[in-house]
A and B are shown apart, each in its own frame.
Chain A
Amino acid sequence: MNSEPLIDLAHISVAFRSPAGRVAALQDVSLCVQAGERVGLVGESGSGKSTMARVLLGLQKPDQGTVRVGGVNPFALSAAQRKSFRRSIQLVFQDPYGSLNPRLTIGQALSEVLAVHDLAAPEERPDRVAALLEQVGLNPALAPRYPHEFSGGQRQRIALARALAVEPRVLVADEPVSALDVSVQVQILNLLADLQRQRGLALLLIAHDLAVVRYCCDRVYVMHQGQVVEQGPTAEVLDHPRHPYTANLLAAVPDLDAALAAVEPGS
């Protein structure tokens, strides 16, 4: 923890106007992620998780507070700086189908990223695309196929390949496995963990599933109604929650072990 954190959000407040008046989406929220750290952000709908992600991606200017990602303020960038900022932080969404252009083959989609960021000369691109696909566990021979020809898990691998193509320092994954089946979920989580380790990425995992966060993250922030109500090492927060909201959330999780430990079925 000696160097400057890769993500450093301090005292962020964001409010939206609605017919009912101002709605505080974030209230004095601070969050930091070090290089190579895996951090979870959990909370229910409306807790402010996604607004938080939008702030650190430079998409939502906060009313108050400071934002530094990779040492820069994403809201004070020239056009050239913005391009390099976009390279340093990448995003993977819940529904990979919605984030892939249906009219581009996945080979074209990945080449496009390399072209936009001047990462490979045209003749080198096919090899780079093949290497990227291999890294996420896909057969490079699949490059000429279109997104609809892939399963949900495969699409999420493609989305990961595209995010990693620009060699980012930070990966924000917003509910990356909640649309996937449980057997595929684990494949993607394990892949995410491998890639994170190999590349020393900072990972911010936004999720509602506490068990997923337990599996993947060193530290966790628990959000409720626009505030961080608890934070700390994942095991400590989940095993010994201090805030009543965290305890409520944990009690609500239909955890398999807890259910199997119960004596009476169906009660």
Chain B
Amino acid sequence: MHFGPPSAPIRAVNQVSFEVQRGEAVGLVGESGCGKSLTALSLGRLLPEPQARWVGGRIRMDGHDVMSLSESELRRWRGRRLAYVFQEPSSALNPVLTLERQIREVLRLHRPEADTVEEVQRLLGRVGLTDGQRVRRSYPHQLSGGMQQRAVLAMALAGQPDLLIADEPTTALDVTVQAQIMELLSTLQRETGMALLLITHNLGLVARATHRLYVMYAGRMVEQGPTLDVLRHPAHPYTRALLRAVPRLRAGGVLEGIPGTVPHGSERPTGCVFHPRCDRRREACTSVDPDWSAVNEHHQARCPFWK
């Protein structure tokens, strides 16, 4: 995925491959500017075209080629096949419509047979807004941030999507509210059988909520595997450095930052994208873009020197 003029493209996401199985909870972590959100947005073809240029690769969902869908097909696709929950619930809700109006809009488009007050009430109850009578008549500003995010979840669930993409869904919320929303997300994912793609910079959240994990750095996937395996036995130097930087609730010791910052899309280094910040850098890293190395059967890192 490239941005900017063809003469000077900004290579935002580069040869990223990943898959999510039906009903699976997958985490995508990395720092800002790594391309996590772009990857997520491209799944629903939500990036502005032609500013964002697709230069290669394919996206398939349930056997369909997402790249070849027409605009009208996409409108039915989004919401029904996949739904999004973003960081800021207040900007995902229309401020001048009641929640009922907004949820029924989704129902009318995707499940017209269920476009009823009862279904709205049921959905609100499902996300823990039990005072559905009052809440459905509320406008977004009348609700707290946590309640707004629950309402966004209810809207997402209204289309009974196969995949829910939650992009930093709790970053704007207080920690106790965050815990409630994460609990709710996990419960809904298990009970409805929808797949979950959780995008976050918070390693503690993915550790609790996901089965598999992808680690992204500077537009590339650098490590993938079962979540706990990756976090307990990180192989890629970036993942290791990230783990060394996380403040822990119970541990002492000095934390280490990662020197430097994530390179901008227009100035990505040659060779391994992480080599300028890597503590295990070797000569070859500056020129050779590494392929996947197997850590074990299910766990891979894009670093030949991970051992």
A interface vs B, CB < 8 Å?
Answer: 44-45, 151, 153, 181-187, 189-190, 208-212, 214-215, 238-239, 248-260, 262, 265-267
Contacts and interface: CB of A to CB of B under 8 A. Distances in A.
A215 B247 contact: yes
Given A181-B262, A265-B210, A265-B226, 12 more contacts: A182-B201, A183-B257, A187-B257, A189-B247, A189-B255, A238-B250, A254-B182, A255-B248, A257-B251, A262-B207, A265-B227, A266-B227
Contact of B176 (A44, A190, A239, A255): A44
Contacts of A186: 245, 247, 255-257
Contacts of A262: 207-208
22 contacts: A181-B32, A183-B245, A183-B257, A185-B245, A186-B257, A187-B257, A209-B175, A212-B247, A238-B250, A239-B250, A248-B176, A251-B179, A252-B178, A253-B175, A253-B204, A254-B182, A255-B204, A255-B250, A256-B231, A257-B249, A258-B249, A266-B186
A256 B174 contact: no
B175 A211 contact: no
A250 B248 CA distance: 12
A107 B250 CA distance: 41
A157 to B, nearest CB: 12
Given A44-B175, A214-B249, A266 B210 contact: yes
B211 interface: yes
Interface residues of B, number: 44
Contacts of A189: 247, 255
Contact of A250 (B211, B247, B249, B258): B249
A183 B255 CA distance: 10
A254 B179 contact: yes
Interface string B173-190: 011111100100010000
A238 B178 contact: no
B246 interface: yes
B176 A249 contact: yes
B278 to A, nearest CB: 12
A212 B243 CA distance: 15
Contacts of B31: 181-183
A95 B226 CA distance: 35
A19 B203 CA distance: 42
B228 interface: yes
Interface in B227-254: 227-228, 231-232, 241-243, 245-251, 254
A238 B249 contact: yes
B202 interface: yes
B205 interface: yes
B209 interface: yes
Nearest to B229: A265
Q: Is the interface of A mostly helix, strand, loop or mixed?
A: helix
Q: What are the nearest 3 A-B pairs in CB distance?
A: A254-B204, A259-B207, A187-B257
A253 B178 CA distance: 9
A182 B245 contact: yes
A151 B31 CA distance: 13
A238 B246 CA distance: 17
Contacts of A253: 175, 179, 204, 249
B257 A259 contact: no
Contacts of A267: 186
A209 B245 contact: no
B25 interface: yes
Contact of A260 (B232, B245, B257, B261): B232
B211 A266 contact: yes
B248 A211 contact: yes
B115 to A, nearest CB: 33
B208 to A, nearest CB: 5
Given A183-B258, A215-B255, A254 B202 contact: yes
Nearest to A238: B249
A187 B228 CA distance: 26
A252 B175 contact: yes
B175 A257 contact: no
Contacts of A239: 250
Interface core residue of A44, A182, A253 (most chain B CB under 10 Å): A182
| Most chain A CB within a 10 A radius of its CB, from B174, B202, B210 | B174
A83 B174 CA distance: 36
Contact of A256 (B176, B203, B211, B262): B203
B207 A190 contact: no
Contacts of A255: 204, 248-250
A54 to B, nearest CB: 20
Contacts of B242: 182-183
Contact of B207 (A185, A249, A260): A260
Nearest to B145: A45
B7 to A, nearest CB: 24
B176 to A, nearest CB: 4
Contact of A45 (B174, B245, B262): B174
A266 B25 contact: yes
A188 B25 CA distance: 33
Contacts of A187: 257, 259
